[in-house]
Amino acid sequence: MSRVVIIGSGIAGLFAALHLADAGKEVVVITKQRPEDSNTNWAQGGIAGIIDKTDGVGKQSHIDDTLASGDGICDPNVVKIVVEEAGDRIRDLLSIGVNFEKDGADFHLVKEGGHSDRRILHAKDATGKEIERALTESVDSNPLIEMRPHTLAVDLIQTTHGKPSDGIKGIWCLNLDSGIMETIPAAAVLIATGGCGQLWEKTTNPSVATGDGMAMAIRAGANVKDMAFIQFHPTALVVDADRPFLITEALRGEGGVLLDGEGLINYRIDGGSPEPHSFILEFSSQGSLATRDIVARACDQKMKETGAENVWLVTDHLESEALRNEFPNIEERLNRHGLSLGETPLPVAPAAHYMVGGLDVDLNGRVLMSGGNSIPGLYGIGEVACTGMHGANRLASNSLLEAIVFAQRAANHLIANPIVDAEEGPRWRADGMIELKEHVPLVRDLETLKKTMTLDVGIVRRFSRLERAKRMLNLLTKEVDLIWQESLPTRELVELRNLVLVGTVITQDAISREVNVGLHYNIDLI
């Protein structure tokens, strides 16, 4: 048996699956909902990269912008590798049928916050959906890849001695259709489960973003790093009776401007202006196109100063028809609420968006332990991994690029270094465990967790609140552990267990930091 199990059906997981299958590997992809229910499918903006291998100036500019955004925490070697490999990996996407927007014979490139030039390929405002479509169609037609939807990974199976250094030999997972725990043996496991946006009350992430892969790897002995760096997207549409909806940064790249309430009133009194004056200029000379950490903090501060629930993204000084053609997905969503691009100010606020830190991995995506050695047979790719690419703050549209570069590198390493198959793993221990009788406590615990992370471990922090969050998370850990020891797993129990663990790691990392950098901003350190 040389089966490889991939947990997660986003761009990283599916890209790796295709490459492994092309090399003759048997691949099983598990995903707890439908394959398309991933962060990738919700990505609007695009994928940054220089396609022309000879464009040294363009590559260096991309490197410089990434390093600047990362605020001194990026690994320069990783940044260089990813930017250099961008062209080949984007061509791989093109070869499987991804249709990026074109302007005549050339690709239509857009610009987002922190970028000094137009270098982002996109498929209007639904780039992730287009990439996911092409990848899913290719996976479905490959006989060596088995897709298992409605399957929730619960824990990694380690070797008989249970030591991280002895390696991984499969996973335990919960069949969400039957409610039965299953054992899937594997020679190697690639974790590609995305982030943990569901830790906060407002997030642009889908419901599946509950930190599952991160948590199970930590329990198996994996090291993590830079967990304090959680990126909040500054412009999520906030309207009553609807979840936060991402308004891509590319809209600001086309000239959209952020205003506070007073700025909006003045703008209306003036009868509109060719160049509305943004309050973001108080924080950065780049204004509305500053990096996400700066813009999100500016919005957060302005909302707290004024007591407002949102700020405003203004586009009515731009050509409305062109905007609607460029961003049809956003326009359709806005229309549900009586809003429209180029006509009405859009109420927006920051929402949890991307986990910049993650599993500590090497240049081949191998998951590392605290001592620096890898856990045999375990890889981390995509948002769940911390490669050193993003530093303290991810540059817009670098995430999809990093995902495919490291998916390829992990697959190549696994192909070149096949792992000796382990024996069949043990079945899940179910003796003496009972079905969960009461679900209300779990609901309340989840609400408490989200409220704690939102108020105490959000965009702006202070030590007293972080310590308060730590105490609450310790209490939640004890409560969840009691239920876990006696109850058969359910999706809500598994996810809550994972979220509490990841929230604890994030909070502890934030407490340990002595300086403000990138996305970590503690007002006690000013």
Q: What is the pLDDT of residue 276?
A: 82
Q: What is the pLDDT of residue 39?
A: 56
Task: Say how far apart CA 119 and CA 64 lie, in whole Å.
Answer: 13
Task: Calculate the alpha carbon distances from 59 to 87, 116, 364, 510 in Å.
Answer: 10, 12, 22, 33
β-pair type (168-175, 181-185) = antiparallel
Cα torsion angle, 338, 340, 343, 349, sign: positive
Average pLDDT for the chain: 91
Q: What is the pLDDT of residue 433?
A: 59
Q: What is the pLDDT of residue 114?
A: 87
Other Cβ atoms closer than 10 A to 161: 8
Q: Which residues of 260-282 are buried (b: 16+ CB within 10 A; e: fewer)?
A: bbebbeebeeeeeeeebebbbee
Which of 292, 324, 394, 465 is an active site residue? 292
Nearest to 15 by CA among 33, 3, 27, 32: 27
What are the residue boundaries of the structural domains of the chain, listed by start? 4-229+356-416, 235-350, 431-487+490-525
Q: What is the pLDDT of residue 269?
A: 76
Q: What is the pLDDT of residue 128?
A: 84
Beta strands in 150-308 (DSSP E): 151-158, 168-175, 181-185, 188-191, 224-225, 230-237, 245-246, 257-259
Query: What is the mean pLDDT for each group of 10 consecutive residues in the chain (526 residues)?
Result: 87 96 95 70 77 93 96 97 97 95 90 89 85 93 96 89 78 93 92 97 93 97 97 93 86 92 87 78 91 92 93 93 91 94 95 97 97 94 98 93 97 90 65 62 93 96 98 97 89 96 98 97 95
What dihedral angle (degrees, nearest 10) is formed by the CA atoms of 392, 398, 402, 404? 160
Domain 431-487+490-525 class, CATH top level: mainly alpha
Q: What is the pLDDT of residue 349?
A: 96
Active site residue 497: no
Q: What is the pLDDT of residue 346?
A: 96
In CATH, what is the architecture of 235-350? Answer: Alpha-Beta Complex (3.90)
Domain 4-229+356-416 class, CATH top level: alpha beta
Cα torsion angle, 402, 411, 31, 228, sign: negative
Read off the tokens for 130.
């287009």
pTM across the whole model: 0.93
Task: Say how far apart CA 364 and CA 414 lie, in whole Å.
Answer: 9
